[in-house]
């Protein structure tokens, strides 16, 4: 019994060291399993998927421009208008020798007597642009009324024409528009239930009248038209062999 005791005591440190080594390897193994490891194949696979997704999105975005028929949001305009009907033909006997480009700002205000403007009232600023022509009537030249007189030697010709007149004004829709419109509360409510809330025909008629009045107030347009007509007839008659050409305009009728 005395001989076995030292051997038993000496064996205890060896057992403890073995246990510690075993526990250390277990902890190291557990730590290695929980610690993240670089996975190169997984990163490469994710990058490939991302590149493929971006390429697919770009392709879908560019495909409608390459093939417009495949665009589901593309709008299409269909013209269902009927054929043009010819109503009548008219012979023109006026020579339009000058044209004036005019512009006017129409300021129209409609107010109620007993209500303030923010309750009942409307003010519209309409910018109108158009042209007024000055024309000379050539219909009398074809009649035997002495409008054209030729000398016996056929070297001189005398032409008498009526004074230049103004044509009806023509508004240009591309340059005419409502610049500003201020309406009262009641007017806004009426427009909601009205069949034609924005009737601009009165504005167009008023603008045409103002353009016509401005053209009549300036005699330069008619004077320019008569000068252009005179030069045109002089060149035409000289081309026909006349040496002396006299063009006379009658006094304008009041």
Alpha helices in the chain (DSSP H): 4-34, 40-66, 185-193, 201-217, 220-239
**Over the stretch 11-44, which tens digit does the pLDDT of each residue have?**
444 444 544 555 455 445 544 544 455 555 555 6
Quick check: is 166 in a domain?
Answer: yes
What would the two tokens of residue 206 be?
């008023």
Measure the CA–CA gap between 99 and 225, rounded to whole angstroms.
8
**Over the stretch 204-240, which tens digit does the pLDDT of each residue have?**
899 999 999 999 998 999 999 999 999 999 999 999 8
Q: Is the pLDDT of residue 132 over 90?
A: yes
- The total number of structural domains in the chain stands at 1
Quick check: is 144 in a domain?
Answer: yes
**Over the stretch 60-102, which tens digit does the pLDDT of each residue have?**
666 656 555 555 666 778 888 888 888 777 767 888 899 999 9
By the 8 A CB rule, do 94 and 136 touch? yes
What local confidence, expressed as pLDDT, does residue 62 receive?
64
Per DSSP bridges, beta strands 177-183 and 121-137 are antiparallel
Domain housing 140? 94-249
Q: Is the pLDDT of residue 191 over 50?
A: yes
Quick check: is 61 in a domain?
Answer: no
What local confidence, expressed as pLDDT, does residue 123 receive?
77
Measure the CA–CA gap between 28 and 35, rounded to whole angstroms.
10
What local confidence, expressed as pLDDT, does residue 101 receive?
93
pLDDT over 70 for what percent of the chain? 62
What local confidence, expressed as pLDDT, does residue 12 receive?
44
**Over the stretch 145-169, which tens digit does the pLDDT of each residue have?**
678 888 888 899 999 999 999 999 9
Quick check: is 138 in a domain?
Answer: yes
Quick check: is 235 in a domain?
Answer: yes
What local confidence, expressed as pLDDT, does residue 92 receive?
72
Quick check: is 59 in a domain?
Answer: no
What local confidence, expressed as pLDDT, does residue 31 receive?
45
Mean of all residue pLDDT scores within the chain: 75
Place of tokens 């007839």: 233
Quick check: is 87 in a domain?
Answer: no
Quick check: is 20 in a domain?
Answer: no
Strand partners, 217: none
State the average pLDDT over residues 109-118.
Answer: 68
Measure the CA–CA gap between 208 and 108, rounded to whole angstroms.
14
């Amino acid at each position: 019994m005395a001989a076995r005791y030292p051997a038993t005591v000496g064996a205890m440190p060896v057992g403890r060291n073995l246990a510690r080594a075993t526990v250390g390897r277990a902890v190291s193994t557990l730590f290695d399993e929980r610690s993240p490891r670089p996975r190169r194949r997984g990163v490469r696979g994710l990058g490939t998927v991302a590149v493929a997704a971006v390429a697919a999105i770009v392709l879908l975005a560019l495909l409608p421009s390459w093939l417009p028929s495949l665009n589901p949001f593309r709008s299409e305009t269909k013209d269902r208008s009927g054929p043009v009907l010819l109503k009548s033909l008219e012979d023109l006997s006026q020579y339009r020798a000058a044209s004036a480009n005019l512009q006017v700002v129409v300021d129209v205000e409609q107010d109620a007597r007993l209500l303030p403007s923010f309750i009942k009232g409307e003010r519209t600023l309409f910018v109108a642009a158009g042209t007024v022509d000055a024309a000379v009537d050539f219909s009398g030249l074809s009649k035997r009324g002495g409008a054209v007189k030729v000398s016996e030697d056929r070297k001189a010709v005398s032409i008498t024409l009526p004074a230049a007149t103004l044509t009806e004004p023509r508004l240009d829709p591309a340059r005419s528009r409502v610049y500003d419109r201020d309406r009262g509360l009641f007017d806004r409510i009426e427009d909601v239930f009205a069949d034609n809330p924005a009737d601009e025909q009165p504005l167009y008629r008023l603008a045409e009248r103002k353009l016509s009045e401005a053209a009549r107030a300036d005699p330069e347009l008619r004077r320019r038209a008569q000068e252009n007509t005179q030069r045109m007839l002089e060149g035409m008659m000289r081309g026909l062999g006349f040496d002396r050409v006299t063009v006379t305009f009658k006094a304008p009728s009041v």
